[in-house]
Chain A
Amino acid sequence: MHIVVLIKRVPDTASKITIAADGRTIETAGLQFVLNPYDEFAIEAALQLKEQVGAGTVTVMTLGPAEAAQTLRSALAMGADRGVHLEHEQQLGDPYAIARTLATAIQGLAPPADLVLAGRQAVDSQSLAVGPMVASLLELPCVTDVTRLERQPEGKLRVEREVEGGHEVLLVEPPALLTTNKGLNEPRYASLKGIMAAKKKPIEEPAVPIAPALSAILRLEYPPARQGGRIVGEGAAAVPELVRLLREEAKVL
């Protein structure tokens, strides 16, 4: 069983993001980068499936700058077997360009992928589009936001996802693409032995052309500065007015 996990190097969410001088990208100097947290669930799911089957390969693939090799290495330290680095220095804003490039690279893998996993979203660009787009381009069945994943004895995957008011339970036959959501599992730490073993694992750098973008970022803007608060009254007497304002003005109720 060959499982491919799409991962991304993203700024630590605790970082303060600054817009670069071009107004369209973020300043990366001084930022701390981490493995996208939603992708950790995908890696853990892949490792658990491989352990359950007792055989197979987990390949982690990323599209990003030279430093993204570190992100691949941390996934290899968790237990993935093989890394694929599609090196590209510029920040890509168009989900199609990213998805098309990844899909081409996945098609070039040997053996072919039996299952593709990806985090539901990258915590930086938040498009939530790359996983489903890759599925479309590869003509794979796609289930998003998976919170439970079980492999049936015959190889089909029973997956659950959260929907409004409950759970949806689906049966998918690989090859397929799943995007992973929080709650699916608890990602393991890279153990010291895993870290030592990761040094010897291969990271391939296939020559895959970056696909053309179908959309372009015009500019990035900071959110408006927060306005000062307002005291609407004191004690229980103020509650009706507070509720009215929350409903009518703030529109949060």
Chain B
Amino acid sequence: MSAYRALDLFELDALLTEEERLVRDTARSFVSERVLPVIERHFEQGSFPMDLIPQMAELGFFGANLEGYGCAGLGAVAYGLIMQELERGDSGVRSCASVQGSLCMYPIYAYGSEEQKERWLPRMAAGEVIGCFGLTEPDHGSDPGSMQTRARRTAGGWVLNGTKRWITNGSIADLAVVWARTGEDASSIRGFLVEKGTPGFSAPQIERKWSLRASVTSDLILEDVEVPDSAMLPGVQGLRGPLSCLNQARYGIAWGAIGAMQACFDEALRYATARTQFGRPIAGFQLTQHKLCEMASEITKAQLLALRLGRLKEQGRAQPWQISLAKRNNVYWALEIARTARQILGASGITHEYQCGRHAANLESVITYEGTHEIHTLIVGKQLTGLDAFQ
């Protein structure tokens, strides 16, 4: 099979800097040569390709948009392009990098003490310490403000109790950012750095998933977990803390979805031009061309949206509702495109020999995690109408 060709109908490449193109090319080659050859096996086995972690770290993919502490200090677009390319491989691989960089390193970077930053960030950038992010609970998903996990003050520290669920990287993580209430309402939420092996802390893996199979998803169980004062992130209190992290990660997902779309489109186009029925390639039929045209237009729109959002983010102007709109739109269309690709591939599309089925299965998670499609709809709705549908 010839090399992957990314769709770029509107010459958006020309809007990238030389540095951004080089970053994208590194991530693209890495995915073609290191991720794609192994991902099908891991997806089937339900295992995370652990040996990719040191390789991603060496290339600088973890916390690539942070400055200092061994991080590359890239702009938002370059960071987005890495997420795009990783998700062209698999949403699970992109999820690992998103969680490490945006959900674990970012809160330490933004809200941690200097001591916490120096202790954790260089080792996390180097992939020596893997992180996870504990916000969602079994009974509190879209409404994290009502979380039950509690942190109780003791002399010189805190005692944590509660359960977190759907935690990417949970069982392989050395460090968890756990959000807990220190009082009665959401304004008392604080972030705590909980190390693997702390008595009372465990992270059992959630098995039997049919989506994100090449990704570790876990519960975090905290039973009278004692942590010192120095484990609390001093710089933020209330829901703003976790939500600001989610904004970073959601931004990356808006880009990541483009990678999944591109993988599916590339595969569908190749298949449609090679597969012959009724004496001609199925790409020659109007129904197939309609599908391909719809896919290509949505990819192009998603690219424009992500790129503009990235430039706004670089100027410090990206608003949370803009990130919601982009994540919502791009993931929705990625899932549609993956399903359409599967349709073009016919029965072949249901096998692991092709990627579209794996992407479609993965995207069923992506459309729900990091703010469900519905919650993002309400965030945009609130922006448009001034009326808050949550309350």
A residues neighboring B (CB under 8 Å):
12-14, 32, 70, 73-74, 77, 189-193, 195-196, 198-199
From A13, A14, A196, A198, give the contact of B72 (CB < 8 A).
A196
Contact of A14 (CB < 8 Å), options: B3, B18, B30: B3
Q: Do A192 and B5 touch (CB < 8 A)?
A: no
The total of interchain contacts (Cβ-Cβ below 8 angstroms) comes to 47
B21 and A70 contacting across the interface, CB-CB below 8 Å: yes
Q: Once bound together, how far apart are the Cα atoms of A187 and B39, in whole Å?
A: 22
| Complex Cα gap A13–B29 (Å) | 15
Give B235 Cβ to nearest chain A Cβ, in Å.
Answer: 26
- Interface residues of B: mostly helix, strand, loop or mixed? helix
A189 to B25, CA, bound (A): 9
Bound-state Cα–Cα, A14 to B32, Å? 14
Determine the residue in chain A with the shortest Cβ distance to B29: A189
Counting chain B CB atoms within 10 Å of each CB, which of A12, A191, A199 scores highest?
A191
CB of B61 within 8 Å of the partner chain: yes
Contact at B2–A77, with CB atoms within 8 Å?
no
Q: A12-B3, A14-B2 known; A191 and B58 CB under 8 Å?
A: yes
Given A12-B3, A14-B2, A14-B3: A189 touches B72 (CB 8 Å cut-off): no
Q: Which of B19, B26, B73 contacts A189 (CB 8 A)?
A: B26
Q: Is the CB of A196 within 8 A of B29?
A: no
On chain B, which size bracket covers the interface? 20 to 34
What would 13 more interface pairs be, CB under 8 Å, given A73-B18, A192-B59, A198-B22?
A14-B2, A14-B5, A32-B5, A70-B18, A73-B22, A74-B22, A190-B25, A191-B26, A191-B60, A192-B60, A195-B72, A196-B72, A196-B74
- 30 pairs, CB–CB < 8 Å, chain A vs chain B: A12-B3, A13-B3, A14-B2, A14-B3, A14-B5, A73-B18, A73-B22, A74-B22, A74-B25, A77-B26, A189-B26, A191-B58, A191-B59, A191-B60, A192-B23, A192-B26, A192-B59, A192-B60, A192-B64, A192-B72, A193-B72, A195-B19, A195-B22, A195-B26, A195-B72, A196-B19, A196-B72, A196-B73, A196-B74, A198-B19
- Residues in A with CB closer than 8 Å to B21 are 70
Q: Please give the distance in Å from B69's CB to the nearest CB on chain A.
A: 13
Give every chain B residue within 8 A of A192 (Cβ-Cβ). 23, 26, 59-61, 64, 72, 74
In the complex, how many angstroms separate the beta carbon of A173 from the nearest chain B beta carbon? Answer: 35
Residues of B within 8 A of A (CB): 2-3, 5, 18-19, 21-23, 25-26, 29-30, 58-61, 64, 72-74
* Residues from chain B with Cβ under 8 Å of A195 in the complex: 19, 22-23, 26, 72
Give the docked Cα–Cα distance between A18 and B64 (Å).
Answer: 39
For A196, the chain B residues whose CB sits under 8 A away are: 19, 72-74
Determine the residue in chain A with the shortest Cβ distance to B6.
A32
Nearest chain B CB to A58 CB, angstrom units: 17
In the complex the two chains form, what is the Cα distance from A192 to B56 in whole Å?
10
Identify which of A195, A196, A198 gathers the most chain B CB atoms within 10 Å of its CB: A195
Closest chain B residue, CB of each to CB of A74: B22
Residues in chain A near residue B72, CB distance under 8 A: 192-193, 195-196
A58 to B5, CA, bound (A): 32
Contacting residues, chain A, for B19 (C-beta < 8 A): 195-196, 198-199
* Chain A residues within 8 Å of B58, by CB: 191
With both chains docked as a complex, state the minimum distance between the C-beta of B333 and any C-beta of chain A, in angstroms: 25
Contacts of B60 in A (CB 8 A): 191-193
Q: How far is the CA of A199 from the CA of B19 in the complex (A)?
A: 8
Residues of chain A with a CB closer than 8 A to B18's CB: 70, 73
Residue of A nearest to B19 (CB): A195
Cα distance A77–B27 in the bound complex, in angstroms: 13
**Given A14-B2, A14-B3, A196-B73, also A189-B59 (CB < 8 A):** yes
Measured between alpha carbons, how far is A12 from B58 in the docked complex, in Å?
A: 26
A190: chain B residues within 8 A (beta carbon): 22, 25-26
Minimum CB–CB distance for A186 against chain B, Å: 9
Nearest to A32 among chain B residues (CB) is B5
Closest to B78 in A: A192
Residue of A nearest to B20 (CB): A195
* CB-nearest residue of chain A to B64: A192
- Distance in Å: Cβ of B124 to nearest Cβ of chain A: 15
Least CB distance from A43 to B in Å reads 14
Chain A minimum-CB-distance residue to B72: A192
In the complex, A20 Cα to B139 Cα: how many Å? Answer: 65
Contacts of A189 in B (CB 8 A): 26, 29-30, 59
Most buried by A among B5, B18, B22, B72: B22
Once the chains are docked, how many angstroms separate the CA of A198 from the CA of B22?
A: 10
Query: With A and B bound together, what is the CA distance between A70 and B20 in angstroms?
Result: 12
CB distance from B97 to the nearest CB of A (A): 12
Query: A193: which B residues are within 8 A, CB to CB?
Result: 60, 72
Q: Which residues of A contact B22 (CB under 8 A)?
A: 73-74, 77, 190, 195, 198
